[in-house]
Each structure stands twice: as structure tokens, then as C-alpha cells.
Amino acid sequence: MATALCPGSFDPVTNGHLDIIERTARHFDDVIVAVIRNPQKTGSLFTLEERQELLHECVKHLSNVRIEFFKGLLVEFAKEHGASSIVKGLRAVSDFDYELQMAQMNQRLSGIDTFFISTSPQYSFLSSSLVKEVARFGGDVSTMVPPVVAERLQGRFVQEA
């Protein structure tokens, strides 16, 4: 059985993430959405539990996808879960340098290969950070994130205002 990881911070999950997860689920028997517990990026908006809850809601239609948390090295987590592949979305050339470097490092550390899926063009400008910024200032993100996430973002920033 071929298991793949879709890793990330998912703070919060966007339609771009979901597109990659759905497409990965068509190619692998088993997909683990690996949510990092200790991201290098500081200032998470959502707690781990909230991110997990939102992800669960968004992937519930995909029977071969599950959500797990990890900390430390991704490749250690991959080995522990029998995952032979990492799948990432590539939005633009600007993603490429860093993603290639990580893929090569992960390959060197473990032999685990990274596969890149080209982000669907309608999501190529999307990132969790930008979505949060737009939502914080009252912009409409309803076409960029699943409805449950849009609702949660709106609630969060209404509370803050």
C-alpha cells in the first residue's frame, strides 16, 4: 500500500491545500495530512485542535485521507508511518528553490522522495498568510477557503475588532 504525506502548517487550510490533498488522494492508497506541531513560523492564528477540526471537516469526503500531527523531522514521521512519498504543491517559480532544497535534504536524510503537483491556476496566488491578512482587514476570502474556514476566520476577526 502506497502512503503519501501532505505536510504543512495549515493555519488555516485553504482551497489551494485542499486541491493538492484531493489530487494526492487520487494517486495514493493512503494519504496523511501531516500538521506540524512546532512551526518555525511564529504567531499561529489557530490552535492545533482548531486546525485539526477544520481539516477534518474539509477532508471528510475523502475516505483515504487522515490527519496526524508531527514534530521534529518530517522524514522521521514518514518512516514511523510507513510513508514512502511526500507530496507538495508548487504555486510558482518562487516556491521552487526552497521546495527543491527541502526535497533534496529529505531524500538525502531518508531516501524518501518528494513529488510536486502544480497548483491549479485559480489558487496560485493563495497562501494561508495572505488569507489571514485579507480576513483580518475585513476582505472577502469566501472563494479562497472552504466555507467552514471562512466562517471561523470571520468569527475570529469580528471578536478581535
* Active-site amino acid positions: 17, 41, 91, 128
Radius of gyration of the chain measured on its C-alpha atoms? 15
Stretch of 6-14, 52-60, 113-121, 132-140 contacting ligand PNS, by CB under 6 A: 6-14
Q: Write 57-60 long-range contacts (CB < 8 A, 24+).
A: 57/146, 57/148, 58/13, 58/18, 58/146, 58/148, 58/149, 59/18, 59/21, 59/33
- Contacting residues for 94 by C-beta, under 8 A, at least 6 apart: none
Residues in 19-48 at the binding interface with ligand PNS, rule: CB under 6 A: 36, 39, 41
* Measured distance CA(116)–CA(37) in Å, rounded: 23
Stretch of 2-10, 43-51, 61-69, 141-149 contacting ligand PNS, by CB under 6 A: 2-10
Q: For strand 85-90 and strand 30-36, is the pairing parallel, antiparallel, or unpaired?
A: unpaired
102 lies in the binding site for ligand PNS (CB under 6 A): yes
User: Taking the complex as a whole, how short is the minimal distance between the CB of residue 88 and ligand PNS, in angstroms?
Assistant: 7
16 lies in the binding site for ligand PNS (CB under 6 A): no
Binding-site member from 29, 47, 73, 143 for ligand PNS (CB under 6 A): 73
**Closest CB to ligand PNS among residues 35, 135:** 35
9 lies in the binding site for ligand PNS (CB under 6 A): yes
**Closest CB to ligand PNS among residues 9, 24:** 9
